[in-house]
Structure 1
Amino acid sequence: MIELEQAVALAKQHLTPQTKTERLPIEEAFGRVTAHELLAPIAVPNFERSGMDGYAVFAEDTLAATPERPVYLTVQGSLFAGDDPAGFQAKPGTTVRIMTGGAIPKGYNAVVKQELTDYGEKTVAIQRAVTVGQNFAPIGEDIRPGQMIFPAHSRLNCESIGVLASLGLTEIEVLRPLRVGLLATGNELAQPGQALQAGQIYNSTTFALAQYLRQSGSQVVFRLTCPDDPNQFVQILQQYADQVDLIITTGGVSVGQRDFIPGAIRAISGTELFHFVQMKPGTPLMAATWQHKVILALSGNPFASMVNFHLLYWPLLAHFLGNQQFNLQQRQVPLLVGDSKPRHLRNFMRGQLTPAGVKITPGGHHSSVFHNLVDSNCLIEQPRNQALALGQTVTVYQWPQS
């Protein structure tokens, strides 16, 4: 058996980072990763604009203004957001009434907010002095031309899409997503909607895994169920080999008479990277390569397979896309609720991470128990041969939450 960190490193070595790209409309680019650095093609704003409703002025004209002795200026007219200011010529002793976001006529250098005036329409009384640049947004206040907006391999969030729109962009080049195939193995598996036969359970794990894959931006190429039949297993691999970067299987990977996956992979000249990792649950975790594809063979028990998935998938995705935002985050936090007796292998438990610390999720912690994962958002590490006690500082692993 090898250590978890060795297993992750070996899998990374055989998953080639993505270099293929595609162009997408910006409204379809949420969650995707930029292929290249993006420099601003324009300034935002690309004109001088008012920061509030008021009057565009020469600041020097207002120096003596007080409520008792206001300064009077001639109002040339009004400008609203979207109006062209070219029709106004800035001259000392004059002003233009302007609304928030309006383009300031060239020459004026400040804006007096309308509450500090008498709201005059032909002549306005300015009751307070302003300084140069006051209430005045310069060109490029938000974004300068040529400014670095996103480095290469940046994940685009909701605000990112808005920034792209503010630059007038309609498309962006992004990395192609990780293409994943999901394959649940086992004669005992029935699909939801089917009647259960004696000894059968419903396939559940790959439904959860598919949602994690899609949520993280990966493409689920297939989600299938395969009986304990190595020939069918190999047929599925051969059918989809050219369409995926990563294949994730569940079940069939331990040492039972029907744990056929290791032998099936050897039979098609696959190369085993590792088999069995020093961890609980999910010790039989295996990885192999075949036709330049990585195969992750997870445990068949639901919780064990989720532990295997979280501890391997997120580091692989971060490596594939060149962005550590996708990686697991390790934190040292106090244990607020729960304890655990020593275990002979490094153990991972369901946890509920809060701002104050972490709680061991209540309920069964057997690898076959799935339902209480609904209330978990992290894994708690229990080092081998060490107990966990209330108040102790523990290591938690949290995957990206959106």
Structure 2
Amino acid sequence: MIEVKEALEIVAANSSVLSTQKISVQKALGYVLAETIYSPISMPPFRQSAMDGYAFIHSRRHQFDVVGISQAGDHANVKLKENQAVRIFTGAYVPNDADTVVMQEHVMVNGDSILIAKMPEPFANVRNKGEQISAEDVVFDANTLITPAAIGFLACLGITEITVYKKPKVAILVTGNELVKPGKKLSKGKIYESNSVMLQAALQTIGINKVKVHTVKDSLKATKKALQPILKKNDIVLISGGISVGDYDFVKEALLKNGVEELFYKINQKPGKPMFFGSKKDTLVFALPGNPASSLTNFYIYVYPAVKNKMGFSNTHLPKIVRKLENDIVNDTGKTLFLKALYNETSVTILEGQASSMLNSFAIANGLVIVPHDTESITKGTSVTILPID
């Protein structure tokens, strides 16, 4: 059995980033850049109007003759004198001679002339060429996550393809004779299987949307056979249950018989002690506890950073924040505790229902309070470290 810190170090050391691929910008949501992107153009590529109104040469003059029009998409470079203006619309080309745009709400129109009732400051309402970015400037550094806004920005620069890190192929294997799929009739001695649905949802929060779920009965032969193709076809394998020391816990033995190297087994923590971590070639295996709260806790602590490492993220772990404790904590276990909690801007409250089988408190928690293994008690008002999970 190892400490949490050592377990984290072993996971990090074995979670190398995947290879790269070129992908359409339109399909890049949730991927991580594997290259630095430079802008092929300036944005905007010309001086644009930020308002519907009139473009003119700023002076003490308030009355102007309207001598032209500039709509979005036009490139009419109307020559202007000091007493002349051009009707202009948002996003349209600002003539070279004009330096200011007055919004139409501040103008009185009389035929082909205007009177500016409220004079703007010089250079107002004009977006200069390269205001957002200049040609050859860095758009995004490598290891940047592609968001909807990032896709929009790349598209407006005319970029259609980018190089990203591949997303890992992830599979979940669920063990347990007692498990029944939600929606089916629940007979005596059976419980609904929830871990696979929960883990799929947790994976979706970091961009892994396609996950194959497999099930297997509690037998060594069946578990060993089920694992063979799963280990070959996936980059990360999550196993739910069957990893403790009961008579029907066959996962560890089945993994070893399939050539998976054990990197550690059991962690000095609560919940989530009975976890196996291993690898076969480049495939990582996390055999998680069957108890739901233990399984989800270990996902956040160990699986989450491993998946993000594979995807090319620069920051892989959950962030850490500090808040003042609203209730006392006693730790007489000698283990690192991960306690379900609710935090706000100043404080944090430990929730009832900390048992490894309980998801009701996890469902309303927005953080996990970390209590180090060598800390026996923490009094109310003390600052504690929290891992946000909201």
Q: TM-score, normalised by structure 1?
A: 0.89
SS of 2:320's equivalent in the other structure is strand
Select 2:332's aligned residue among 333, 337, 343. Answer: 343
- What percent identity do the matched residue pairs reach? 29
SS in 2 for 1:15: coil
Indicate the residue corresponding to 1:90 in structure 2. Answer: 80
C-alpha deviations, 1:231-280, integer Å up to 9, x for none? Answer: 22222221123321111112121222222222222223321101111111
DSSP 3-state at the match of 1:212: helix
Q: Is the contact between residue 116 and residue 126 of structure 1 (CA under 8 Å) also seen in structure 2?
A: yes
SS in 1 for 2:32: coil
Report what 1:119 is aligned to: 109
Q: Are 1:79 and 2:70 an aligned pair?
A: yes
One-letter identity of the residue aligned with 1:35 = A
Contact 1:36 / 1:173 at 8 angstroms: preserved in 2? yes
- Displacement, 1:169? 3.5
Give the counterpart letter for 1:21 in structure 2.
Q
How far 1:139 sits from its partner (Å)?
A: 1.0
Query: Aligned equivalents of 1:377 and 1:42: distance in 2?
Result: 43
**Aligned position for 1:19:** 19
* Offset of residue 212 of structure 1: 1.0
- 1:33 matched to which residue of 2? 32
Structure 1, 160-169 or 304-313: larger mean CA deviation: 160-169
Contact 2:34-2:312 within 8 A present in 1 as well:
no
How big is the shift at 1:295?
0.8
Give RMSD over aligned pairs. 2.3
Aligned partner letter, 1:136: V
Instruction: From the superposition, tell whether residues 121 and 146 of structure 1 become closer, same or farther in structure 2 (CA, over 3 Å).
Output: farther
d(CA) in 1 for partners of 2:247, 2:332 = 27
Alpha-carbon separation, structure 2, partners of 1:20 and 1:381: 36
Distance 2:265 2:30 in 1: 33
Query: 2:240 maps to what in 1?
Result: 250
Residue number in structure 2 paired with 1:54: 53
Paired position in structure 2 for 1:271? 261
Deviates more, 1:181-190 or 1:353-362: 353-362
Aligned to 2:357: 368
- Is 1:43 paired with 2:33? no
User: Which structure 2 residues correspond to residues 58-207 of structure 1 after superposition, within 5 A?
Assistant: 58-59=57-58, 62=59, 64-65=60-61, 70=62, 72-86=63-77, 88-126=78-116, 132-207=122-197
User: In 2, Cα distance between the equivalents of 1:309 and 1:322?
Assistant: 18
Q: CA deviation at 1:393?
A: 1.2
In structure 1, what is the Cα distance between the partners aligned to 2:256 and 2:115? 89
Q: Deviations over 1:23-48 (max 9, x none)?
A: 1342x332221232211122221121
Give SS of 1:46's match. coil
Paired amino acid for 2:13: Q
Determine if contact 1:333/1:357 at 8 Å carries over to the other structure.
yes
CA displacement, residues 88-121 of structure 1 (integer Å, 9 cap, x when unaligned)? 2233432212233221122222223445543344
Mapped to 2, the partners of 1:123 and 1:254 lie a distance apart of: 85
Matched ranges for 1:348-363 at <5 A = 348-362=338-352
Alpha-carbon shift at residue 17 of structure 1 (Å): 0.9
Aligned residues: 388
Q: CA deviation at 1:342?
A: 2.2
Partner of residue 6, structure 1: 6
In structure 1, give the amino acid aligned to 2:67.
Q
Amino acid at match of 1:374: A
Query: 2: distance between equivalents of 1:368 and 1:40?
Result: 52
Could you tell me how far apart the structure 2 residues matched to 1:149 and 1:361 are?
Answer: 44
Q: Is the CA contact 2:4–2:336 (under 8 Å) kept in the aligned structure 1?
A: no
Gaps of 5+ in 2: none
Name the SS for the 1:85 alignment partner: coil
- Change in CA separation of 1:282 and 1:125 when aligned onto 2, cut-off 3 Å: closer
**CA distance 1:230–1:98, shift in 2 (3 Å):** same
2:20, 2:163 within 8 Å by CA — same for their partners in 1?
no
2:252 maps to what in 1? 262
Measure, in 1, the Cα distance between the counterparts of 2:144 and 2:100.
Answer: 38
Structure 1: runs of 5 or more not aligned:
none
